[in-house]
Amino acid sequence: MADARKVVLVTGGSSGIGLATATAFARGGAAVVIAARNAERGTVALEELRRIGAETEFIQADVSRSADVEELVRATVARFGRLDVAVNNAGSLESGVFKPLADFDQDEFDAHISLNLRSVWLCMKYEIAQMLEQGGGGAIVNVASVNGLGGVPLNSLYAAAKAGVIALTKSAAQEYAANGIRVNALVAGGFRTPMLLDTFARAAPDDPSSIEKQFASMVPLGRIGDPAEAAAAILWLASDAASYVAGHSLIVDGGLTAPYR
């Protein structure tokens, strides 16, 4: 259950885990800002949230760009007065996938790390600055991936970026705990999001359902997760119920990585 009247910022909030998280916070009474690069999807998500009575705004932003993130945080505070919770969920598999490491070029590396790692650093940079300006206190949840727990064949750049997200989370948690700012990570397994389904389609264009079934068969719970299940974990990490939790990597993957950790 979200804490009422908290101001929450969710990046990548127009679909998947981000939208599920924004919806859950809104249903709990929080004011929610969603951010995404795609204005059309962001507007659709905003309308969906407002239909459930949410006090919410959509702000278009590319969170791999410093100026966009600085303005995003400024606009959030201008609209709602403060920032209490940030969920840094935005990520992308647009490039840097389905090739062995030595086949990537530098532009692919730079783009992938920018979208999936630099973006999280930039978000924390400006979110933490705002929380400190408010006098401290707050919660940040960074969405990482089980891919960041080890190497992934044909997906090395994504694995590296998500491992970096976990390291940034643990570092920031130690640096700002004394200021009452708790920083944690959701380490997500496979959830039924547009990004995952697109990955299945790209991996097997003629029969994406076969890849989906293969993936589900590797999960001890026997299925792909619902984004609402990821959102529930994020809400707990951000809530007062997790007041003694900092620098934690909460793995939510249906048991997928249990044999290896």
- Quote the radius of gyration of the chain (alpha carbons, Å): 17
Instruction: Give the containing element (helix H, strand E) for 140.
Output: strand 138-145
Instruction: Give the containing element (helix H, strand E) for 163.
Output: helix 156-176
Q: How far apart are CA 165 and CA 28, in angstroms?
A: 27
CB 204 within 8 A of CB 210: yes
- Angle among Cα 11, 86, 76 to the nearest 5 degrees reads 75
Would you tell me how many other CB atoms lie within 10 Å of the CB of residue 94?
12
Active-site entry in 126, 158, 244, 260: 158
Largest Cα span, the chain? 55
Whole-number Cα distances in Å, 115 to 6, 64, 137, 197: 27, 5, 27, 19
Answer yes or no: 176 catalytic: no
Q: Which residues are catalytic?
A: 158
